[in-house]
Amino acid sequence: MQLLGRTDLEALCAAAHRAGQDGLPLAVVGAGLPVLPERLAEAKSYAERLFVFPSLGALGEAAARQAIVRPAETAIPARPVHYEEAAVEAILEHSERYPYFLQSYGLQAWNAAPEGDLIGIGDVARALAPTREELDRDFFETRFARATGAGRRYLAAMADLGDGPYASGEVAERGGWRTVMSAGPVRQTLIEKGLVYSPDHGRIEFTVPHFGDFMRRKHPLASLAA
């Protein structure tokens, strides 16, 4: 929903507000990145009272395990496939329980395993390289492509500082901007595109895990600055 224009957000808030006033049985359910509450509040000041914003991040450990194990058990009727415990633990660690990553690691582990009814730690180890290649190509690179030249330099400056969240002032300095204010428009554009978000005042963070690692490997700051 953070990609909706302000006019659409205003209309959505007004319609939901009117429905509530009239007692109509209407619910609005949407999904968005962490910038969504701010975007809604800018559209209508009462939006913070109109909606609740539960955070949907990484899965809990039990749900993440189920997301790995259950599809393997049910994919082939009458022939369930099981995971070694060490294999499950490895996928949980590498994916950080992020749903899309769980799916990617599970797929590649399945493909790496020989014919049989068990996926082991060795299969997961063989799946790491193709999973990273797939995520680089189909997940991270498509997001990187949405940024402008200045935006890419800002992303690289964030990654160059290590793991976030990052202080906006440090990112601006590392990226070659003279002041935080001069880097502000670039930062705001990246927020609007859903590539980064502000977890706290003066802080900035990537919206998906491992994006910093991707930037350091594929698009380091030195190459973009040059």
Q: How many angstroms separate the CA atoms of 92 and 96, rounded?
A: 6
**Cβ pair 208, 146 in contact under 8 A:** no
Give mean pLDDT, residues 44-67: 91
pTM of the model: 0.80
Q: Own/partner pairs for 114-119, CB < 8 Å, 24+ apart?
A: 116/81, 117/79, 117/80, 117/81, 117/82, 118/81, 118/82, 118/83, 118/84, 119/72, 119/81, 119/82, 119/83, 119/84, 119/87
- Report how far residue 189's alpha carbon sits from residue 206's, in angstroms, rounded to the nearest whole number: 13
User: Average model confidence (pLDDT) for the chain?
Assistant: 92
The Cα 121–Cα 193 span in angstroms is 38
pLDDT of residue 201: 87
Predicted pLDDT of residue 69? 96
Domains detected in the chain: 6-50 (no CATH), 61-143 (1.10.8), 147-225 (1.10.10.10)
> pLDDT-based confidence at 36, cuts 50/70/90?
confident
Residue 155 C-beta-side C-alpha neighbours within 13 Å: 36
Using 50, 70 and 90 to split pLDDT, how confident is the model at 226? Answer: low
Mean pLDDT of 186-191: 93
The whole-number pLDDT of residue 141 equals 96
Q: For residue 162, which phi and psi values (nearest 5 degrees)?
A: 105, -140
The string of pLDDT tens digits covering residues 87-135 is 999 999 999 999 999 999 999 999 999 888 999 999 999 999 999 999 9
Of all residues in the chain, the percent with pLDDT exceeding 90 is 76
